Structure 1
Amino acid sequence: MFLYNVTLILEDAAAEEWLQWMQNVHIPQVMATGMFISNRLLKVVDSPNEGVTYCSQYVVESLDHYNQYQETFAPALQAELNEKYKNRFVAYRSLMEFIPPTP
C-alpha cells in the first residue's frame, strides 16, 4: 500500500476558505475517483513556513491505482485548485510506501 501526500502552504487569508473547499468539494471529488481507500487531512502545527500548512493524505492499494489517478483525474483536479487559489499557495506532492512492522 502507498500513501499519496499533498502538502500545501497557504497564505493566511486563504486558509479558512481553502479548508472549507477541501472538506466539502475537493476531497469528496478525489475519493469519488475510486482510486483511494481512505484519506485524512492534517494541519501542521509547528511549520517553519509563513502561512498555514496542511497535508492531505490518501491511501492507495497499488501503484496501478496511483498511476491511473495521476493520468486520468489529477490534471483536472489540480487545475481547479490552481485556478481557485492562484498565487496563494505552494504545493509539494510525494508518494510513500508503507513498510510493514517487523515481527
Structure 2
Amino acid sequence: MVLYNVTIGIDSDVEQEWLSWMKATYIPKVMATGLFKDCQIYKVLGQDEEASVSYSFQYFTESVDKVVDYLDNHAPSIVQLLHKNYKDKHVAFRTLLQQVD
C-alpha cells in the first residue's frame, strides 16, 4: 500500500469555508481519477500559530505508478482550482510513503 499525503496549512479566517470546499469539490475530483482507493482527513493538533491551521489529506493506492500518473496527468488542473480559490491563503507540501510489512 502506498500513501500519498498532502499537508495543507490554511489561514484560519477561511478554514471552515475551505474545508467544506475541499470535501465537496477537491477530494471528489481527486477520487474521480480512479487512482486512489480511499482518502482520510486529519487535522494537525498542537499548533502554536493562531493565524493558520493544518490538515493532512491521506490518499491510499496500490502503487507508486498510480501516484505518478495522478501527479503527471491530473494534479495540475485540480491543484489549479485550489490556487484559484485560495491564493495566498494556503501552503502545501507532499509526502509519498510506502507501507512496510
Interval containing the TM-score (normalised by the shorter chain): over 0.9
**Which position in structure 2 is the counterpart of 1:73?**
74
**Residues 20-57 of structure 1: CA deviation (Å, up to 9, x unaligned):** 00111111111010000111011112124441111111
Partner SS for 2:74: helix
**Which position in structure 2 is the counterpart of 1:20?**
20
Q: Does 1:58 align with 2:56?
A: no
Unaligned runs of 5+ in 1: none
Q: Does 1:99 align with 2:100?
A: yes
Give TM-score scaled by structure 1 length: 0.92
**How many Å separate the matches in 2 of 1:37 and 1:4?**
11
Unaligned runs of 5+ in 2: none
**How many Å separate the matches in 1 of 2:30 and 2:54?**
20
CA RMSD of superposed structures (Å): 1.0
Give TM-score scaled by structure 2 length: 0.94
**Which position in structure 2 is the counterpart of 1:39?**
39
**How many Å separate the matches in 2 of 1:63 and 1:95?**
8
The size of the alignment, in residue pairs, is 100
**Which position in structure 1 is the counterpart of 2:9?**
9
